[in-house]
Amino acid sequence: MNKRSHSIAFWAAVAVFLVAVLSMTQIVRNEYPFFAGYVILQFIALAVAWSILGGYAGYVNFGTNAFFGVGVYTAVALFKATGAPLAVQIAAAAVVGMTLGFGVGLLTLRMRGIFFSIATIALAIIIETFVMNWRFVGGAAGIQIQRPPVTAPFDSYVKMLFFVQAVLVVIAVAIARYVQNSRIGRGLQALRDDELAAECTGVPTLKLKLIACMISGALISAAGAPAAMYLQYADPSSAFNLSYSVSALAMALIGGTAHWIGPVLGAILLGSTQQLLAVTISSEVNVLVLGIMLVLFVVGAPKGIIGLLRPRYRLRAGGKQ
Amino acid sequence: MDLLLGAVVLGVLLGCFYAAVSVGLSVSFGLLDVPHVAHPAFLVLASYGVYQLNESYDIDPLLAGLAITPLFFLFGLLAYRVYYETFERRGSDAAVRGIAFFFGIAFIIEVLIILQFGVDQRSVSATYIGKSWRFGEFRIPIRQLVAFAVALALTVLLAVYLSKTFMGRAIRAVAQDEEALRLMGANPVRIKQFAFGIATAVLGIAGALLIIVAPVEPTLDRAYIGRTFCVVVMAGLGSISGTLIAAIILGVAESIVLTLFGASWAPAISFAMLLGVLAVRPQGLLGR
């Protein structure tokens, strides 16, 4: 009964959120809030998606940028080849991201800890190099994108993208919440604490890791797909920028990865701080703030914001304590 | 054919240079098991230190590198102390956060460099930079030769230090069996801290070589994450002689690809080799 009432509360909150976002796009005239809001929403989606593998399973993925860039370039290639609508681009990006996630999942067969992390950076660089040498999507110089006319009920493309990204956030959060409360999540937590012990007690570790990689990859790529339309431009060094990796990782760890709300909180807090700093000071300083916050939190508050707010999670995620 | 031969020669020179920039990681990550993702960022930081000394006092870059070495030694001691107190001592869950910690440190260093020096490329001046020797068809820049010689000396020196001196042997002992060392009455943490200091101090010279070989920019460390980890993993963790061999293999491979396919493919070589090694032979060439 309790679980069901939790579910009702969750979906009610989701409905309220989506209605609020939709009415905001209808009421607010100024485009700037949507421009900034899109970036924050994008970071929420990335942080939540990252934590499915990095938080629940404990495999630190430095390759968020690989999935993000793959999402961007799937959308770009598809749009250039067929002029497919945004929804199709996002779906395709999710499928490609999932396939790549499967590949990354296979890497976890032989690699753990730092080796896995370095391997994911390697993957990102290799894919970026291929895209740089891929003429069809503009190579290293990048490619301009002409946005198609916007569809009703939206009166500007940015507002539509804002709404689309909000939907992606809802999907990411709903999936993360499902994973966390299901056998998958419990299995992932078990293998994070002790992979060998989990395997021995019958947890299908390989299957779970593959699932986590595929879900995480699909969600990150999907969140990246609209970026080309947002910027009206795509180039390999910004689509595959390592700062997406550090942002997703930092926001998830700062928020706390024991519960899906952690990455959401972390992304909202850091995302809005970054938007504020980027406008008032400089974009370098906001990376600095991100880095310092990350280091402070991993040193001082290992369970992140939710660990500080709710001591209960300290026990739940503490593993061996 | 001449082209290929030239590429191999330059590759060997480049490889020894890669050995010098990786050898510190071979100690910190290979021997001490510290997930030191910030190693390349420390390296670039050292380059900027050398740049600053060269720019304002006109000191030779190699001397400047030597001058910042003690500073980097202390920096390394401090870094390891923080890492040990916050992560290693607590065990279990600490691995994930340790990686994130060094990743964060790397980004902080990168941004601090940008704030201080800007995003433009920086280079040093010295008498041997800019000239080259001609051998018939191909030329060898003297800066490459200088870097090669110093890098080789540095790597050999560190190898000798680790195998012949008392402290060097202690460092290798702590890598093999920390518990046994504790039973002998030694303090493994202090030895590891010292070793991490050495690994960081070496970066003073390595950083000088980095800026001698080519101009540096703040985000250069990203490319060197692949190169240094590729070399250390391919070498077999903690093997110094393996480091030299692996670095030369990487240097030659990069140089050949550069000659045959062009510069745009070069950054992926080290990462591709790293993935290949991890997939096929994770224990490296001369693995322990």
Q: Is the pLDDT of residue A99 over 90?
A: yes
Higher pLDDT, B280 or A120: A120
CB-nearest partner of B271 from A110, A122, A319: A122
Cβ contact, residue pair B108, A249, below 8 Å: no
Q: What is the pLDDT of residue A311?
A: 65
State the DSSP code for A52.
Answer: I
Residue among B176, B41, B32 nearest B106 (CA):
B41
Cβ contact, residue pair A288, B97, below 8 Å: no
Q: Write out the DSSP string of B21-81.
A: HHHHHIIIIIIT----TTHHHHHHHHHHHHHHHHHHH---HHHHHHHHHHHHHHHHHHHHH
**pLDDT tens track for B45-63:** 999 999 999 989 988 999 9
Strands, E, within B194-248: which ranges?
none
> Are B270 and B227 within 8 A, CB to CB?
yes
- What does the alpha-carbon distance between residue A256 and residue B68 come to, in Å, rounded to a whole number? 39
pLDDT-derived band of residue A122, with 50, 70 and 90 as boundaries? Answer: confident
**pLDDT tens track for B184-219:** 888 888 889 999 999 999 999 999 999 998 899 998
Which chain B residue has the Cα nearest residue A60? B96
Strands, E, within A171-220: which ranges?
none
**pLDDT tens track for B11-39:** 899 999 999 999 999 999 888 888 888 99
| Least confident span in A38-42, B74-78, B91-95 | B91-95
Average pLDDT of the residues of chain A: 85
Residue B236, exposed/middle/buried by CB under 10 A (0-12, 13-18, 19+)?
Answer: buried
Which chain B residue has the Cα nearest residue A108? B279
The distance of A321 to chain B (nearest Cα, Å) reads 9
pLDDT-derived band of residue A186, with 50, 70 and 90 as boundaries? Answer: confident
Q: Is the pLDDT of residue A320 over 50?
A: no
> Are A181 and A65 within 8 A, CB to CB?
no
Q: Is the pLDDT of residue A80 over 80?
A: yes
Mean pLDDT along residues A172-177: 92
Cβ contact, residue pair A242, B222, below 8 Å: yes
Higher pLDDT, A196 or A317: A196
Residue among B287, B267, B233, B210 nearest A126 (CA):
B267
Q: What is the pLDDT of residue B283?
A: 66
* Residues of A contacting chain B (CB within 8 angstroms): 54, 58, 60, 62, 107, 110-111, 113-115, 117-119, 121-123, 125-126, 128-130, 132-133, 140, 193, 242, 246, 249-250, 253, 284-285, 287-288, 290-292, 294-295, 298-299, 302, 318-320
Q: What is the pLDDT of residue A317?
A: 46
Cβ contact, residue pair B275, A123, below 8 Å: yes
Q: What is the pLDDT of residue A310?
A: 72
Mean pLDDT along residues A290-318: 75
The distance of B85 to chain A (nearest Cα, Å) reads 9
pLDDT-derived band of residue A118, with 50, 70 and 90 as boundaries? Answer: confident
Q: Is the pLDDT of residue B41 over 90?
A: yes
Q: What is the pLDDT of residue A34?
A: 87
State the DSSP code for B119.
Answer: S
Determine what percent of chain B is predicted with pLDDT higher than 90. Answer: 35
